């Protein structure tokens, strides 16, 4: 017979967390939460917004000897309720405190190596206080902002101010750029593996653009700047619905910004930012057309934090670590001519 002592242990699984309660009977009950606890987000798949611990839960019961079945059914019913309550309580995930020595910074895969370089400078500069940076990589362009809003990270560093403002407007969040001017800028370009000049684009050609509103708007403006389409006047963040002219009848296909380079071989052209192009092995200098200088200046990368979270000082320290010669060298090494440092 198992010990009657009850305990709950939590350990991560690919789908979230699993809490198991040992029982003094020849049966077992385990609670499996298909989603992480409330206030967390998954980083191994599609982005998700607020996730309740009560969502998608099921209970599993082991083999029970037939001689005890009648009694155990009643006990198990009560036990299931208890297990659920204990599991929820024990599996909560603590938030990233602004006062902690550990500053958790969310980034996209594109900026992983750069963030590691910034971490080195941050840890050096804050050796006396003991503050250190932990880099957390997210595999999409939404979850880092969701995690920042929910408090599981202190800062994020992967987006421009236009994207940040669009996220706030859409979700009613209060995320803020430490310095709206940003730390470096980059540009959108039109690339193709099939043609050497934009004049060679055929009628009905398939052109890839990012599927998020901010970068889609930037891509459409780039197409307009190169006389491939015309857009409605006075629209700051245009969508395909704002296209007023399309002389080549281009088929504009939206896709994840991180999948554009891979999809370029199946399309006639793609509007890709210079950083993604470089990371995908494309020389930004081979762009057949670029966005206007006035537009590229609006899309500098920013350090973001949640307003009112107490992380403004952490954002200041992280920005200071960015504006160093070591990080500037890393930018030149990793992104070559794809970015322009703003310090």
Q: Which pLDDT belongs to residue 6?
A: 42
Model confidence at 186, pLDDT cuts 50, 70, 90, reads very high
**Are 28 and 107 within one domain?**
no
Q: Is a pLDDT exceeding 90 seen at residue 260? A: yes
Q: How far apart are CA 276 and CA 255, in angstroms?
A: 14
**Are 160 and 192 within one domain?**
no
Q: Which of the listed ranges 13-22, 95-104, 115-124 does the model predict with the highest average pLDDT? A: 115-124
Condensed to tens digits (0 to 9), the pLDDT of residues 62-94 reads: 333 444 444 444 444 444 434 333 333 333 345
What is the number of domains present in the chain?
Answer: 3
Specify if 317 maps to a domain.
Answer: yes
**Are 152 and 193 within one domain?**
no
User: Whole-structure pTM over 0.85, yes or no?
Assistant: no
H-run or E-run covering 84 = helix 69-90
Q: Is residue 177 within 8 Å of 303, Cβ to Cβ?
A: yes
Q: How far apart are CA 45 and CA 47, in angstroms?
A: 6
Specify if 96 maps to a domain.
Answer: no
Q: Is residue 238 within 8 Å of 217, Cβ to Cβ?
A: yes
Region 2-26: mean pLDDT is 40
Q: Which pLDDT belongs to residue 98?
A: 92
Read off the CATH number of the domain in which 130 is found: 3.40.190.10
* Structural domain of 171: 102-185+301-341
Q: Which pLDDT belongs to residue 14?
A: 39
Q: How far apart are CA 110 and CA 63, in angstroms?
A: 49
Region 228-244: mean pLDDT is 96
**Are 286 and 262 within one domain?**
yes
Q: Is a pLDDT exceeding 70 seen at residue 132? A: yes
Q: Which residues pair with 104 in a beta bridge?
A: 134
State whether residue 80 is helix, strand or coil.
Answer: helix
**Are 263 and 288 within one domain?**
yes
Q: How far apart are CA 4 and CA 162, in angstroms?
A: 57
Condensed to tens digits (0 to 9), the pLDDT of residues 44-58 reads: 333 333 333 333 333
Q: Which pLDDT belongs to residue 258?
A: 82
Condensed to tens digits (0 to 9), the pLDDT of residues 145-160 reads: 999 999 999 999 999 9
Q: Which residues pair with 134 in a beta bridge?
A: 104
Q: Is a pLDDT exceeding 90 seen at residue 172? A: yes
């Amino acid at each position: 017979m198992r010990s009657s002592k009850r305990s709950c242990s939590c350990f991560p699984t690919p789908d979230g967390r699993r809490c198991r309660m040992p029982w003094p009977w020849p049966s077992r009950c385990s609670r499996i939460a298909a989603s992480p606890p409330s206030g967390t987000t998954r980083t191994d798949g599609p982005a998700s917004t607020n996730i309740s611990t009560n969502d998608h839960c099921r209970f599993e019961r082991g083999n029970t000897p037939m001689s005890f079945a009648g009694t155990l059914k009643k006990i198990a019913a009560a036990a299931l309720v208890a297990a659920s309550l204990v599991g929820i309580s024990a599996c909560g995930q603590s938030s990233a405190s602004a006062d902690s020595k550990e500053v958790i910074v969310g980034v996209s895969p594109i900026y992983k190596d750069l963030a590691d370089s910034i971490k080195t400078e941050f840890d050096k500069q804050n050796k006396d206080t003991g503050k250190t940076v932990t880099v957390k990589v997210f595999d999409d362009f939404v979850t880092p902002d969701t995690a920042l809003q929910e408090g599981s990270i202190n800062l994020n560093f992967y987006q421009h101010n236009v994207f940040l403002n669009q996220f706030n407007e859409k979700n009613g969040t209060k995320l803020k750029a430490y310095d709206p001017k940003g730390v470096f800028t980059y540009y959108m370009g039109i690339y193709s593996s099939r043609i050497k000049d934009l004049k060679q684009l055929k009628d009905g050609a398939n052109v890839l653009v990012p599927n998020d509103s901010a970068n889609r708007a930037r891509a459409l403006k780039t197409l307009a700047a190169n006389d491939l389409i015309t857009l409605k006047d006075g629209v700051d963040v245009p969508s395909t619905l704002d296209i007023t002219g399309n002389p080549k009848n281009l088929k504009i296909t939206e896709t994840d910004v991180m999948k554009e380079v891979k999809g370029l071989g199946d399309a006639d052209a793609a509007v890709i930012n210079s950083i993604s192009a470089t990371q995908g092995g494309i020389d930004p200098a081979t762009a057949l057309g670029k966005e206007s200088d006035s537009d590229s200046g609006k899309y500098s990368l920013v350090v973001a934090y949640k307003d009112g979270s107490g992380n403004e000082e952490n954002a200041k320290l992280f920005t200071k670590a960015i504006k160093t010669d070591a990080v500037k060298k890393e930018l030149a090494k990793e992104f070559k001519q794809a970015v322009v440092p703003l310090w």
